Amino acid sequence: MSHIVDDERADPATGADDTSVAEQRALGERLQRLRTERKWSLTELAEESGVSRAMINRVERGVSSPTATILGRLSGAFGLTISQLLDDALEHEVPRVTDPDEARGVQRGATADSWTDPDTGYRRRPVSSATFPADITEVRLPAGREVAYPASAYAFLRHCIWVVDGVLEVVVGGEPTRLAAGDRIELGDPADVVYRNSGEDPTRYLVVVVRAP
């Protein structure tokens, strides 16, 4: 790829808690396993994803926490959604209910896990389990922030974006669309996509992903 990402801001913040460090290492191990299964060198994964060899090496060793953009590039290279990458690496999934007083398949908001982009504060929380037919994720994007994903992250998927709170600007292939609460957009052919919150308040939206037929 012509554009190689090497985001130094993806390095972990000083004083990260033990859970964050453990998850960071687990994600690194997951990426290394995926690369090994495909018999790819660091250089080959860099070419497939557009992420630099140095950045991939830091993530695999657990010394850097990737941004959402880097996760999107890496997951696209492996033919996975971001949620699948995080579910398998960090076990971010709807917990199995063991309390007989609870209904099967219920996830309480207080126990829901999440992943936060170290650069932008963009936070994603899985709504559906890893075995559910559709991949449903709640995203919170802070005011004044944006997250970009390459076309490769959409090559094999269909996306529906539904805004719950706030205002979201979705830029698809350079064409911006402004969405308010209650609005939704379905993404078509693969293209570079930017999710932008230009407002003064956080934006919350749902992303529903299914594999393209």
Cβ(148)–Cβ(192) below 8 Å: yes
Cβ(206)–Cβ(136) below 8 Å: yes
The amino acid sitting at 106 is V
Cα atoms found within 13 Å of the Cα of residue 201, Cβ hemisphere only: 8
pLDDT tens string 1-38: 445 555 544 454 444 555 577 888 888 999 999 999 99
Spans in the chain with pLDDT lower than 50: 1-2, 8-10, 12-15, 92-95
Cβ(56)–Cβ(31) below 8 Å: yes
Give the C-alpha separation, 19 to 17, whole Å. 6
Give the C-alpha separation, 44 to 50, whole Å. 10
The amino acid sitting at 143 is A
Copy the structure tokens of residue 128.
């559906």
For the chain, the structural domain boundaries read: 8-211
Q: Give the homologous superfamily in CATH for domain 8-211.
A: Jelly Rolls (2.60.120.10)
